[in-house]
Amino acid sequence: MKHLLSTEGIDPAQATAILDTAASLKQALEGREVRKLPTLRGRTVITMFYEASTRTRVSFEIAGKWMSADVVNVSSSGSSVGKGESLRDTALTLAAAGADCVIVRHPASGAAHRLAGWLRAAGTSVVNAGDGMHEHPTQALLDAATLRERLGDLRDRRIAIVGDVLHSRVARSNVHLLTALGADVTLVAPPTLLPTGVESWPVTISHELDAELPSLDAVMLLRVQAERMHGGFFPSAREYSISYGLSERRLKLLPEHAVVLHPGPMLRGMEIASAVADSPRAAITDQVRNGVHVRMAVLYHLLAHEEENA
């Protein structure tokens, strides 16, 4: 694997290999006082974030550091991007400075693919850490890792993705990955928050959360992406949360074993009630924890695995 740009068309065997590596890394590091492996010593990883991030950026940085890579963070403010440098020139600069891998988050859909093209000659790997409304493959992988931990094999598991699917790269990456792993995915959203062409996706569509809950193995709430909305997509925050928020009443409709996920940042009281977010049914902090191991696994498969095979 040279790049990780999307989960669309991902080979289920490749995805499973990454998830298995993440699980072994987690096992190897758990309970250890010194969480440092020598695997990526001498390798340079640069994160390049043109959009806000807490979890993704921090966990990529920790992942690189726990594997002994040198990790450098570049953000749009404080770099030459603020002086008007193009994405291409910034990327070529980072490659020339010695990046073995560039991790990019950008508001434009397709930015990571373009970057991979520009960096081909330099041989630099690219990881998409979220491109506009398009994809966020490592989020889907960490969600799958968390679900596997709680549910085992995902084949034929019923998973609902709820809320602002239209603006969500998390939803797109999860639909591709979870269906590739054999899960049965239902999108639950108001018609205004579903993309055009969704009928051709390999999913079931529903507008009634209450009707879906009793038969689910997992429910994933999405943040309402106000920053990507121009116009009214629903009458009010209150009405949205009444129809699509996971309240304490709704939590009781889920089977005992069902898992509650949210990629964060959460809007408590909007898509998820505070008590639900803090309940033991919610795996939200597990998602963050697994995010580090999954990103370690991705860096390993990009930067170390091929070499070992050779």
Chain positions contacting ligand NCD, by CB under 6 A: 55-56, 130, 136, 139, 169-170, 223, 263-264
CA distance 152 to 262: 19
Nearest to 7 by CA among 101, 114, 142, 118: 142
Q: Which is nearer to ligand NCD, 195 or 264 (CB)?
A: 264
Q: Which residues are annotated as a binding site?
A: 55-56, 83, 105, 136, 139, 169, 223, 264-265
Q: How far is the CB of 288 from ligand NCD (least distance, A)?
A: 8
Q: How far is the CB of 156 from ligand NCD (least distance, A)?
A: 27
**DSSP annotation string for 212-255:** HGGG-SEEEE----GGG--S-SSS-HHHHHHHH-B-HHHHTTS-
Q: Which is nearer to ligand NCD, 135 or 217 (CB)?
A: 135
Q: Which residues are annotated as a binding site for carbamoyl phosphate?
A: 55-56, 105, 136, 139, 264-265
Q: How far is the CB of 173 from ligand NCD (least distance, A)?
A: 9
Specify which residues 265 forms β-bridges with: none
Q: How far is the CB of 80 from ligand NCD (least distance, A)?
A: 24
CA distance 142 to 140: 6
**Burial class (CB within 10 angstroms; exposed 0-12, middle 13-18, buried 19+) of 101:** buried
CA distance 95 to 215: 49
Which residues contact residue 13 at a Cβ distance below 8 angstroms, ignoring those fewer than 6 apart? none
Q: Which is nearer to ligand NCD, 245 or 263 (CB)?
A: 263
Q: Which is nearer to ligand NCD, 143 or 212 (CB)?
A: 143
- Is there a contact between 266 and 277 (Cβ–Cβ < 8 Å)? yes
CA distance 106 to 76: 10
Tokens of 139: 């989020």
Q: Which is nearer to ligand NCD, 35 or 55 (CB)?
A: 55
Q: How far is the CB of 170 from ligand NCD (least distance, A)?
A: 5
Q: Which residues are annotated as a binding site for L-aspartate?
A: 83, 169, 223
Tokens of 63: 């992942």
Strand (E) positions, the chain?
Answer: 44-49, 70-75, 101-106, 125-131, 158-162, 184-188, 204-206, 218-221, 259-261
Q: Which is nearer to ligand NCD, 110 or 264 (CB)?
A: 264
CA distance 156 to 22: 22
Q: Which is nearer to ligand NCD, 43 or 167 (CB)?
A: 167
Q: How far is the CB of 282 from ligand NCD (least distance, A)?
A: 15
Q: How far is the CB of 55 from ligand NCD (least distance, A)?
A: 5
- C-alpha dihedral sign at 189, 267, 53, 22: negative
- In the bound state, the residue with its beta carbon closest to ligand NCD is 223
Nearest to 257 by CA among 280, 274, 277: 280
